[in-house]
């Protein structure tokens, strides 16, 4: 049983006084009607959570550790075929979750107001979700150890922590607020807003505040959470990998394309340099990618137990002959004959891929229904090699997704199941 220390007392007080993030008021209007989905949604993102498994609608037991004011209700409503348990320190946050449960007739969600590490369960979970939680603990390892012990052997964990690159300048400014011993109150909130507004328009902290966290600046709880938090940790991807390893966990996949893209930076580099990059350990590649992409306000990873490292698409070579490819969320595709223009909105990048052969149906590449080998039928050996290299480039740079099984039509499923 975890004793309630100062860290937990501070977190409880903060999130009771300043519910964060700003809660959903009308679940239907804000989520279902707009066909929005959480990045950790178990149905919509099945192919990222379990690329080695065919899609199944069988009931999953899912734990949301640190569910806040609305995350558990949103996921439970949008996934009625699964059982959810949500745990949070904040009684006021859970009051809002209960309001959403009542308004939306949610029957597959139970809530606990506790430090999640103190809650014991008889059965283990298929899937654990923890978004923006462990980096606020005095010892994040205690959270990861709890996840490991409560996860089924073939289960997965979605974890989001803050990265230490893009937020560096903002964190430097936040040191001033700590030195001034600002409180979590209206006067301090006003002071923070005034300081940020007076920064040079080119100051990286101001640029970050007005782009990455603009929505947070619009309400007191966002300002408190980002500028006046008493306990938070920021990670390089290498530090996160080490932390996971110490708790018998490993990255299985990335939940989005913010960190991983790498080869796009070296596509026109001399062969010698490209080979050096290709031969680096994966941890070094990810470290370089984190710095070059500079898009790590949040690091979203999908993890599994180390014993299942062979299912990690990060640590294992992709077997191209066995994969089905699919459009990457946050990416737009404009097809014109044999060329596809790709707009990666996640990293503000534009790609033009020309498949140079009328035998290739680009729509099939984005549909997730045909194996790449079937799509490439009729190509000569040299054409097939060229085609596979382009597919690998797209996957590496997170402008194409994949699975070892046909990808379910999640957009249709999501819309149907929530109406």
Indicate if the alpha-carbon torsion angle 239, 10, 102, 25 is positive or negative.
Answer: negative
Domain residues for the domain of 289 are: 6-164+232-311
State the pairing for strand pair 368-371/349-354.
unpaired
Query: Which run of H or E residues covers position 154?
Result: strand 151-163
State the pairing for strand pair 125-131/151-163.
parallel
- 75 and 33 within one domain: yes
Q: How confident is the model at residue 417 (pLDDT cuts 50, 70, 90)?
A: very low
Give the end of a domain, one of 201, 227, 253. 227
pTM: 0.95
Structural domain includes residue 413: no
CATH number, position 291: 3.40.50.150
Structural domain includes residue 408: no
- Supply the DSSP string of 244-274, one letter for each residue: HHTTTEEEEEESSSSS---GGGSTTS-HHHH
- 269 and 349 within one domain: no
Q: Could you report the per-residue pLDDT of 106-138, keeping only the tens digit for each?
A: 999 999 999 999 999 999 999 999 999 999 999
Alpha carbon of residue 112 to chain centroid: 24
- 90 and 144 within one domain: yes
CA angle 326, 328, 334 (to 5 degrees): 90
Nearest to 327 by CA among 361, 291, 362, 292: 362
What is the pLDDT, as a whole number, of residue 2? 55
Measured CA to CA, the distance from residue 258 to residue 161 in angstroms comes to 13
Mean pLDDT across 223-245: 96
Mean pLDDT across 243-263: 97
- 105 and 33 within one domain: yes
- Supply the DSSP string of 69-137, one letter for each residue: TTHHHHHHHH-TTSEEEEEES-HHHHHHHHHHHHHTT--SEEEEES-GGG---SS-EEEEEEES-GGGS
- Supply the DSSP string of 161-179, one letter for each residue: EEESSTTHHHHHHHHHHHH
Q: Half-sphere exposure of 241 toward its Cβ, with a 13 Å CA cutoff? A: 18
- 192 and 55 within one domain: no
Structural domain includes residue 1: no
Asked if the model's pLDDT at residue 184 lies above 80, the reply is yes
- 32 DSSP 8-state letter: I
CA dihedral 117, 184, 219, 106 (to 10 degrees): 30
Q: How confident is the model at residue 314 (pLDDT cuts 50, 70, 90)?
A: very high
Residues written for the chain: 419
Structural domain includes residue 418: no
Token pair of 224 as six digits: 């408190």
Structural domain includes residue 366: yes
Asked if the model's pLDDT at residue 411 lies above 80, the reply is no
- 363 and 261 within one domain: no
Mean pLDDT across 13-32: 94
Measured CA to CA, the distance from residue 75 to residue 84 in angstroms comes to 8
β-bridge mates for residue 109, sequence order: 84
Give the end of a domain, one of 311, 338, 373. 311
Q: How confident is the model at residue 410 (pLDDT cuts 50, 70, 90)?
A: low
Asked if the model's pLDDT at residue 398 lies above 90, the reply is yes
Q: Could you report the per-residue pLDDT of 333-349, keeping only the tens digit for each?
A: 999 999 999 999 999 99
231 burial (CB, 10 Å; 0-12 / 13-18 / 19+) is middle
Give the end of a domain, one of 311, 345, 375. 311
Structural domain includes residue 414: no
- 59 and 172 within one domain: no
Token pair of 254 as six digits: 């990335």
Is the distance from CB of 389 to CB of 375 less than 8 angstroms? no
What is the pLDDT, as a whole number, of residue 419? 37
Helix and strand numbers (H, E) in the chain are: 17, 14
> Average pLDDT of the chain?
94
Asked if the model's pLDDT at residue 371 lies above 80, the reply is yes
- 292 and 239 within one domain: yes
What is the pLDDT, as a whole number, of residue 209? 92
Structural domain includes residue 397: yes
Percentage of the chain beyond pLDDT 70 is 96
What angle, 0 to 180 degrees and rounded to 10, lies between the N-to-C axes of helices 237-245 and 140-149?
A: 50
Q: Could you report the per-residue pLDDT of 30-70, keeping only the tens digit for each?
A: 998 888 889 999 998 999 999 999 999 899 999 999 999 99
**All residues at 6 or more sequence positions from 359 whose CB lies less than 8 Å from its CB, including other chains:** 377, 378, 379
The total of structural domains in the chain comes to 3
- 174 and 40 within one domain: no
* Burial per residue of 250-288, b for 16 or more beta-carbon CB atoms within 10 angstroms, e otherwise: bbbbbbbbbbbbbbbebeeeeeeeeeeeeeeeebebbbb
């Amino acid at each position: 049983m975890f004793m309630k220390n100062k860290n937990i007392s501070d977190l409880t007080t903060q999130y009771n006084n300043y519910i964060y993030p700003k809660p959903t008021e009308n679940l239907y209007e804000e989520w279902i009607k707009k066909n929005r989905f959480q990045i950790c949604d178990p149905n919509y993102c099945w192919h990222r959570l379990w690329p080695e498994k065919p899609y199944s609608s069988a009931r999953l037991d899912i734990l949301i550790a640190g569910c806040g004011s609305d995350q558990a209700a949103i996921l439970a409503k949008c996934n009625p075929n699964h059982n959810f348990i949500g745990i949070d320190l904040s009684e006021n946050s859970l009051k809002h979750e209960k309001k959403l449960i009542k308004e939306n007739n949610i029957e597959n969600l139970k809530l606990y107001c506790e430090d999640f590490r103190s809650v014991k369960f008889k059965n283990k979970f298929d899937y654990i979700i923890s978004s923006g939680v462990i980096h606020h603990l005095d010892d994040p390892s205690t959270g990861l150890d709890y996840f490991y012990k409560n996860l089924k052997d073939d289960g997965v964990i979605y974890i989001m922590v803050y990265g230490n690159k893009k937020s560096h300048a903002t964190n430097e400014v936040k040191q001033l607020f700590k030195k001034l011993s600002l409180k979590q109150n209206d006067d301090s909130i006003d002071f923070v807003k005034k300081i940020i507004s007076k920064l040079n328009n080119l100051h990286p902290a101001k640029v970050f505040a007005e782009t990455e966290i603009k929505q947070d600046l619009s309400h007191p709880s966002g300002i408190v959470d980002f500028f006046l938090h008493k306990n938070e940790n920021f990670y390089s991807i290498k530090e996160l990998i080490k932390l996971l390893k110490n708790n018998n966990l490993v990255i299985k996949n990335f939940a989005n394309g913010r960190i991983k893209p790498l080869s796009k930076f070296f596509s026109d580099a001399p062969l010698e340099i490209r080979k050096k990059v290709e031969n680096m350990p994966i941890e070094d590649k990810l470290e370089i990618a984190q710095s070059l992409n500079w898009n790590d306000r949040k690091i979203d990873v999908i993890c599994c137990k180390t014993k299942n490292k062979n299912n990690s698409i990060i640590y294992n070579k992709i077997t191209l002959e066995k994969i089905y490819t699919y459009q990457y969320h946050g990416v737009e595709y404009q097809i014109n004959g044999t060329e596809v223009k790709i707009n990666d909105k996640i990293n503000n990048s534009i790609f033009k891929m020309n498949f140079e052969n009328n035998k290739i149906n680009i729509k099939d590449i984005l549909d997730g229904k045909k194996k790449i080998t079937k799509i490439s039928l009729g190509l000569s050996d040299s054409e097939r090699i060229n085609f596979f290299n382009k597919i690998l480039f797209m996957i590496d740079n997170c402008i194409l997704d994949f699975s070892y099984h046909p990808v379910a039509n999640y957009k249709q499923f999501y819309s149907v199941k929530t109406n």
